[in-house]
Structure 1
Amino acid sequence: MKIGLYFGTFNPIHIGHLIIANHMVENSDLDEIWMVVTPHNPFKKKSSLLDNHHRLELVYKATEAYDKIKPSDIEFKLPQPNYTVHTLAHISDMYKDKEFCLIMGEDNLKSLHKWKNYETILEHHNIYVYPRIAEGKIDSQFDNHPKITKVAAPIVQISSTMIRNGIKDNKNMKPLLTNEVWQYIDEMNFYRK
């Protein structure tokens, strides 16, 4: 079984994430997508993150209607700060019968050469890239790389930051979230202040 790992803080998960995940699993040779909730990205301020269990619950609520998209808390059990290369080694050891691939936006591919042990990642795992509007060029070593597959997914211009700011400003962000995710955010009074 071939599984695409889609990493994110998902703070909150929105329809853009689901559009990408669903498109990737339906238009590639991936059997499933696991939405890996990252406890703390070393490049993001932790103060703006909801607690891990709340973000995981939002991912559960967002994905329960999709058979091929699953939530994952695999990184919650790993030492922090964590790096993708460590997660991939850990998850591959845990599930020896599965092949794990990375899902990333084109913007992340542009900075892949800065990732910890990116050569090891490319040696052992395929990467599926979806288009994102971003400045700069992709490092030439990643052009036509045999382990990198570009999937012509829709370009989605929705961000979790935009949603958090909209909720804080008392704007209606409901259309950008699944009903279940919106209800949980609303009931828990998240992002209001």
Structure 2
Amino acid sequence: MPPSAPGMRIGLFGGSFNPMHQGHLLVMEETLRRLELHALWVLVTPGNPLKDNSSLPSLEARVLAARAMITDPRIRVTGFEAERGFAYSWQTVDFLTRTMPDRRFVWIMGADSLANFHRWQRWRDMAAKVPMAVYVRPGAGRRALASRAAATLDHAQLDETDTALLARCHAPAWIYLQGRQSPLSSTAIRAAQGTN
């Protein structure tokens, strides 16, 4: 697990990262700056439970490829979820908030993930444990903001002008971040490479 200290504001950005690309880096840069985070942990997952993982490259290969793209020392790439036997994001959030209650964690996801968040196992538990930052993705904004999760958590949505306060908020709290966008997607990159 990456090093940290009490009081730190830490972003948690999970995914398969198959492969990591400039769009991911853009989200990391924007959320680090706008949420005023001390660190951002890239959680390379063993595999997405909602997807077919049969052709997924090894965790080690994806972690190493992601690390090769990162230049900001505040961003750390880790595959610790697999070491702990975690298959679901709620397990990660539960573990981190229990074992490090003196850190301020924020879950970071793209708008496409919010659109399907209600399909994640124990998603309500996740939302109740950590604030969430949802970053705009091309073509996903409408679906995300009209999603079941967005409707359920409507009472906890902050205005975008309060972005810098999110990491200091008690959950449930979430914010929808507009900003620079990248048309890149891992799916499109794999298709172009013929590895989908």
Query: What TM-score do the two structures reach when normalised by structure 2?
Result: 0.77
Q: Residue by residue, what CA displacement relative to the aligned partner does 1:70-97 show, whole Å, maximum 9, x if unpaired?
A: 10112111336x1111111122344343
Q: Is the 8 A contact 2:63 2:77 kept in 1?
A: yes
Q: Does 1:61 align with 2:68?
A: yes
CA distance in 1 between counterparts of 2:65 and 2:100 reads 25
SS of the aligned residue for 1:45 comes to coil
Change (3 A) 1:92 1:47: same
CA distance in 1 between counterparts of 2:99 and 2:11 reads 15
Match of 2:147 in 1: 138
User: Deviation at 1:20?
Assistant: 0.8
CA distance in 1 between counterparts of 2:153 and 2:115 reads 9
Q: Is the 8 A contact 1:74 1:91 kept in 2?
A: no
Change (3 A) 1:166 1:70: same
CA distance in 2 between counterparts of 1:12 and 1:112 reads 21
Question: How large is the RMSD of aligned CA atoms in angstroms?
Answer: 2.0
Match of 1:128 in 2: 133
Q: Is the 8 A contact 1:6 1:104 kept in 2?
A: yes
Identity rate of aligned residues, in percent?
A: 28
The one-letter amino acid of 1:44's match is K
Q: Which runs of 5+ in 1 are unaligned?
A: 169-190
Match of 1:159 in 2: 185
CA distance in 2 between counterparts of 1:72 and 1:93 reads 19
Q: Residue by residue, what CA displacement relative to the aligned partner does 1:100-159 show, whole Å, maximum 9, x if unpaired?
A: 211011222222233222222122110001012226323322235150012223222211
SS of the aligned residue for 1:10 comes to coil
SS of the aligned residue for 2:54 comes to helix
SS of the aligned residue for 1:48 comes to coil
Q: Residue by residue, what CA displacement relative to the aligned partner does 1:3-24 show, whole Å, maximum 9, x if unpaired?
A: 1111111111111100111111
Change (3 A) 1:165 1:111: closer
SS of the aligned residue for 1:77 comes to helix
* Larger-gyration structure (1/2): 1
The one-letter amino acid of 1:131's match is V
Q: How does 1:1-193 map to 2 (within 5 A)?
A: 1-63=8-70, 65-79=71-85, 82-132=87-137, 133-134=139-140, 136=143, 137-139=146-148, 140-146=151-157, 147-168=173-194, 191=195
Length, aligned pairs only: 168
CA distance in 1 between counterparts of 2:175 and 2:31 reads 11
Q: Is the 8 A contact 1:24 1:153 kept in 2?
A: no
Q: Is the 8 A contact 2:22 2:182 kept in 1?
A: no
The one-letter amino acid of 2:79's match is D
